[in-house]
A = this chain, B = another copy of it.
Amino acid sequence: MSQAKPSLLKGFRDYLPDVELTRRTMLDRVTGVFEGFGFGPLQTPAIEYSEVLLGKYGDEGEKLLYRFTDNGERDVALRYDLTVPLARIVAMYGDIPKPFRRYQVAPVWRAEKPGRGRFREFMQCDVDIIGEPSIRADAECMIVGLEVLRALEVDGVVMRVNNRKILDGMLDAVGVTEREARHAVMRAIDKLPKIGRAGVSAEIRETVGLDDAGLETLFAVLDRKIAGAADLAALTPVIGGSETGVEGIAELTELLGVLEAAGLGDQVEVDLSIARGLDYYTATIYETFLVGHEEYGSVMSGGRYDTLLGMFLKQSLPAVGISLGVDRLLAALLELELIPPRKTAADVFIALFDEEGYAEHVKLARVLREHGLRSELSLSPAKLGKQFKLAERKGYRFIMLAGPDERAAGIVNIKDLASGEQSRLALADVAEWASRFAL
């Protein structure tokens, strides 16, 4: 039998139990908030017909698709995000009651050049509302997002919000009106934190041929500080009174009012340089930053994408959503020590002194578990020192042990690894003892 090299593809990750437990703890809290707002879970396949995914992510996105021919000669591709599969679902199952609120937590695949914080497989975690035109739907997603961060005990966050229509108005003002060219500009602006003003200018100059005067107008808008409704109103002449732009200004003004009414005004600010890279956004867009830790990038982003559904259906359908950057947020939470890393899922390690002790230990573990304590059974009577070391390495709090003498006396030894304290307990009292330490 030839030996295979046990290696991992670049850009992919294994999550060993310590990290995965922490991630699961985080995701459980997140989905708990989602369900609290009436969002139900959805799962879709990892593989879709390529036709379903093509034409949704722009040229740059499409190049990153894991696309292949399957065993039945079908042209298929791995899921690139959770939004397009949602659009497919809504188009296929016409009888889903609307507004449809769903969440989905699932990996997506993009053949990116791997780099720091950039992976080819990563978890997405989205909530969306389909079929609700009101601006309150935009607000609802932002409220859910902020509530998630509150549930994770993350203090100091800011949502930077914008409206694509304002940027479109700005492009009207500088004469960039063609759809593809507009998308190219959005994608360039989206890279501002990464490649800076010079990089963005160069890219826009190259892709859509905008001149220096146009670029100046553009950055004048992007840089503009907006503290409230009055500043938004003052934007109208700057974008030459573009009809689309004025619509965007009105929507953003209304959204700020709704968020104010919902009591979240202080966590939201307008940032006209937020553009989002994806083609499908049509109006409200936002990103979320940890104040003082902006280096993690946006941990939660989203917006409105009213025309995407029209790519599957004959008519368009109102759609809003927010996406949580699970891995990025987890990295931030761990580094900022907002979530304690957990080593093991269990609390008690039951060491085995002699094989004859096994049956008794099975019963002991059952009692502990029934009273809320998770318990791992040692299955081989290895040297006790070795077993104790293993329990410590695995991060257990307690070690229990009953040799022949203890079993005969109906007692069990307990060592508390946190305090180093050792004690003995009658087997009859284990249930009561366990209840004291249960989660």
Contact = CB atoms under 8 A, between A and B. Distances in A.
Interface in A24-76: 24, 34-49, 51-52, 54-55, 63-64, 66, 68-72, 74, 76
Nearest to A310: B1
A126 B377 CA distance: 18
Contacts of A101: 376
A190 B306 CA distance: 52
A221 interface: no
A182 interface: no
A382 to B, nearest CB: 10
A358 B121 CA distance: 40
Interface stretch (A196-204, A256-264, A406-414): A256-264
Interface residues of A, number: 103
Contact of A76 (B9, B38, B374): B9
A124 interface: no
A311 interface: yes
B109 A46 contact: yes
A191 interface: no
A132 B379 contact: yes
A8 B92 contact: yes
A359 B2 contact: no
Interface string A346-370: 1001000000001100110100010
Q: Which one of A34, A41, A52, A314 has the highest number of Cβ atoms from chain B below 10 Å of its Cβ?
A: A41
Contact of A89 (B14, B120, B377): B14
Given A66-B70, A379-B137, A52 B16 contact: no
Quickly give the copy total for this chain. Answer: 2
B20 A42 contact: yes
Contact of A6 (B7, B91, B136, B345): B91
B38 A376 contact: yes
A134 interface: yes
A123 to B, nearest CB: 9
B263 A96 contact: no
Contacts of A12: 45, 47
A374 B20 contact: no
Q: Which one of A20, A38, A55 has the highest number of Cβ atoms from chain B below 10 Å of its Cβ?
A: A38
A140 interface: yes
A341 interface: no
B37 A312 contact: no
Nearest to A129: B379
B69 A42 contact: no
Contacts of A423: none
A317 interface: no
Contact of A51 (B4, B91, B375): B4
Contact of A88 (B6, B18, B263, B365): B6
A228 to B, nearest CB: 18
Contact of A362 (B9, B39, B143): B143
A425 interface: no
A345 B41 contact: yes
A205 interface: no
A29 to B, nearest CB: 13
Interface in A225-250: none
B45 A18 contact: no
B47 A345 contact: no
B6 A92 contact: yes
Contacts of A54: 4
A111 interface: yes
A21 to B, nearest CB: 6
Given A6-B87, A6-B312, A20-B43, 9 more contacts: A1-B311, A5-B52, A37-B365, A37-B374, A41-B345, A72-B111, A136-B380, A258-B358, A261-B359
19 contacts: A1-B310, A2-B55, A5-B52, A9-B76, A14-B44, A16-B42, A17-B42, A20-B40, A24-B41, A34-B345, A37-B369, A37-B375, A38-B375, A132-B380, A134-B379, A134-B380, A140-B377, A261-B359, A263-B362
Give me the 7 closest cross-chain CB pairs, A-B, nearest first.
Answer: A38-B376, A17-B40, A35-B345, A68-B68, A261-B359, A6-B91, A12-B45
